[in-house]
Structure 1
Amino acid sequence: MKKLRHKKNVLVEAEEKRRDLGFGTQITDPDTRLLNRDGSFNVKRVGGSFWGQFDIFNQLIICSWKRFFSLILAFYLILNLIFAFIYQAVGIENLLGADQTNNHSRFLDAFFFSSQTLTTVGYGRIAPIGFWASTVAAIESLLGLLIFALATSLLYGRFSRPVAKILYSNKAIIAPYLDITGFMFRIVNEQSRQLIDIQVEVAVSMLEKQENGKFVRRYYGLNLERSKVNFFPANWTIVHPITDRSPIFGKSKEELLDCDAEFLVLIKATEETYNQTVNSRTSFHAKEVTVGAKFLPMFSDVQGAGVITLDLNKLSDIQEVPLVSQHLPSSEASI
């Protein structure tokens, strides 16, 4: 029985060492980041089929507004240019009312007639005559209806999709915490819409050298002072107490850099307006960790205002402090 229990413990320890967050253990390049600061995964897929990776609807839903409108405008202009050339190929004389003065005016009239047909506006100054010009105009009108129906669904999808607009401090810090130290970073909800039941998970990824001399990537979950709050109206400083059970206990900033430490953050919450689960993620690389600092308050002192004022511009404001504790006899000690 004792041997069986010992074997079980060995298997459990081996499974703990194999644990990862989905990135695997073979990513050992110290210059490769797992998770970008904006929450996107630093992974590029190659070798797949075109249709397997083709997901333009999803890309248009999640891309930035600037990129979205730029793509819509580019598509609109290119499509009208294509039809303008088609009308010219059919014969600009088949567009009744078009200016036939010169090539420039003929092309402009074909282009603007295409835009009016595509949007089904049809001012009436120019009209197609003949079979081929009328056929092209009919096809373009149908295409315009389909395209604007798709654009409407994209706009609705973008507006109706709940997103967690959580801002993160520019850097994480190692700061005094009780009689020890703690790994900390600060977050705040940028939007006025509220988030409730916020849950935070933090893990650290580090390279470890094996007996055979090869490096593998290990992942360790970090215990937090508080991993869940019910309400999130102000800022929240998330703290991992660096006790003797912490995977980064006793490690200096240089040692964290040498093992390519990256702190991976996942936040889940319920968005109050749509009552749907939203998430946000980011990471802090070891080079983005400041040792010996504390966050400054974000609350603005407005006398007689009768309301709590939170200055989001102070999210990343820090102040250097010495790290002195029973584990750190001086500010020059290891973490």
Structure 2
Amino acid sequence: MKTNRLINSIKKSALLEREEQRVELGFGTQLTGLQGRLVNPDGSFNAKRVNVSFWAWADIFHRLTLLSWPRFFVVVFLIYFVVNCLFSLLYMLIGVENLQGIHGTGVSDKFWGAFFFSAQTLTTVGYGHVSPAGLMASALSSVESLVGVLGFAIATGLVYSRFSRPVPKILFSQNSIFAPYLDINAWMFRMINESPNELVDVNVSVSLSRLETLPSGQRTRKYYPLKLERNQVNFFPMHWTLVHPLTEESPLYGVTEEGLRDSDTEILVYIRATEETFLQPVHARYSYRYEEITWGAKFRPMFDGAKVDGIVRVDVQKIHEFDKVSLN
């Protein structure tokens, strides 16, 4: 009995070994009915977590850090306006007569008088022509001053975090292509760093995602690494064309346009690099769906033929341009 138990414990499982060798990017195998992207063109994941806890949803600092600059300033202005309106109503509740210097008689005049006093108190400007009188007004203005100091400390931290967070501005070609390469064919795309900050030690990994039918008839999503001709460069001052040769070992070997469409193929690109100014690691994501792959094409050169002061110039806007050619 003990011998049988020992044999069962050391017996290898073919299914387990196969599962351990399966490539997994983090999307799982169950996304079979979704005819859509896994990674959006802006690099975000095409997935949304629902029913999260309140504290996870209320991570306001993280949300404000990731907002675009226009939206960030709109949110800051709205918060500033709402807080001032709230304190203005509180001043009116305890009586505007407790604010010396407001001479309006109508409700509107009193509200705007209290509003601008609140704005001056919140920002600690305090012009002095309006001042609190009495315990309630003085206590409320003291609380508002504290709220203003803490609020501007948080706003300062947000602005600093937004400026200090390195964001790579890598522009990808709108389409990837199947192109002739040496005496074979290859799948290619290209990219360029638009930011004035240089990137060094750039590493690129590419994976293929597609639907496949198991012997049981069940559809499952599988992932395969695509070996690049070169996946790492030390410097990235110009554009870079990434090449995956279509050899017999390639998961794309012998594919057709119909096959890519039927298998809902998407090619995922992940980039890791070091931002040279602050020596901080950065990363970027992109993907190409099957309809974004052009068959029989060749990228046009991006170098500007005219040299000025001996400097090689690269036309960034040409990154998307290609010519139709015949495959090998």
Q: TM-score, normalised by structure 2?
A: 0.92
Percent pairwise identity: 49
Q: Counterpart of 2:324?
A: 320
Measure the CA separation in 2 of the matches of 1:47 and 1:30. Answer: 21
Q: Counterpart of 2:6?
A: none
Measure the CA separation in 2 of the matches of 1:304 and 1:67. Answer: 40
2:36 to 29, 32, 36: 32
Measure the CA separation in 2 of the matches of 1:86 and 1:101. Answer: 18
Q: Structure 1 residues 303, 269: closer, same or farther in 2, change over 3 A? A: closer
> How far apart are 1:237 and its partner, in Å?
0.6
2:185 to 181, 185, 203: 181
Q: Counterpart of 1:23?
A: 27
Deviates more, 1:195-204 or 1:279-288: 279-288
Q: Counterpart of 1:76?
A: 80
Q: Counterpart of 1:132?
A: 136
Unaligned 5+ segments in structure 1 are 1-6, 326-335
Does 2:223 align with 1:223? no
Does 2:46 align with 1:42? yes
> How far apart are 1:303 and its partner, in Å?
4.3
CA contact (8 A) 2:98 2:133 kept: yes
Letter in 1 for 2:20: E
Q: Counterpart of 1:328?
A: none
Q: How does 1:238-277 map to 2 (within 5 A)?
A: 238-277=242-281
Q: Counterpart of 1:4?
A: none
Measure the CA separation in 1 of the matches of 2:15 and 2:86. Answer: 68
Measure the CA separation in 2 of the matches of 1:259 and 1:193. Answer: 39
Letter in 2 for 1:170: Q
Residue by residue over 1:256-300, the C-alpha shift from the partner in whole angstroms, topping out at 9 and shown as x without a partner, is 111011111110011111112111111111111111111111111
Measure the CA separation in 1 of the matches of 2:297 and 2:131. Answer: 72
Measure the CA separation in 1 of the matches of 2:16 and 2:52. Answer: 36
CA contact (8 A) 2:178 2:187 kept: yes
Q: Cα RMSD over matched residues?
A: 1.6
Measure the CA separation in 2 of the matches of 1:299 and 1:88. Answer: 67
Does 2:318 align with 1:310? no
> How far apart are 1:13 and its partner, in Å?
4.5
Letter in 2 for 1:90: I
Letter in 2 for 1:180: I
Unaligned 5+ segments in structure 2 are 1-11
Does 2:98 align with 1:94? yes
SS state at 1:302 partner: strand
1:148 to 149, 152, 175: 152
Does 2:244 align with 1:235? no
Q: How does 1:169-208 map to 2 (within 5 A)?
A: 169-208=173-212
SS state at 1:224 partner: coil
Letter in 2 for 1:113: F
SS state at 1:120 partner: coil
CA contact (8 A) 2:307 2:313 kept: no
Length, aligned pairs only? 317
Measure the CA separation in 1 of the matches of 2:91 and 2:249. Answer: 74
Residue by residue over 1:208-236, the C-alpha shift from the partner in whole angstroms, topping out at 9 and shown as x without a partner, is 11122221100000000100000000000
> How far apart are 1:104 and its partner, in Å?
1.9
1:210 to 208, 214, 219: 214
> How far apart are 1:181 and its partner, in Å?
1.3
Q: Structure 1 residues 11, 131: closer, same or farther in 2, change over 3 A? A: closer
Letter in 2 for 1:15: E
Does 2:108 align with 1:104? yes
Does 2:70 align with 1:66? yes
> How far apart are 1:304 and its partner, in Å?
4.8
Measure the CA separation in 2 of the matches of 1:178 and 1:171. Answer: 21
> How far apart are 1:10 and its partner, in Å?
7.6
Measure the CA separation in 2 of the matches of 1:99 and 1:19. Answer: 74
Q: Structure 1 residues 72, 304: closer, same or farther in 2, change over 3 A? A: closer
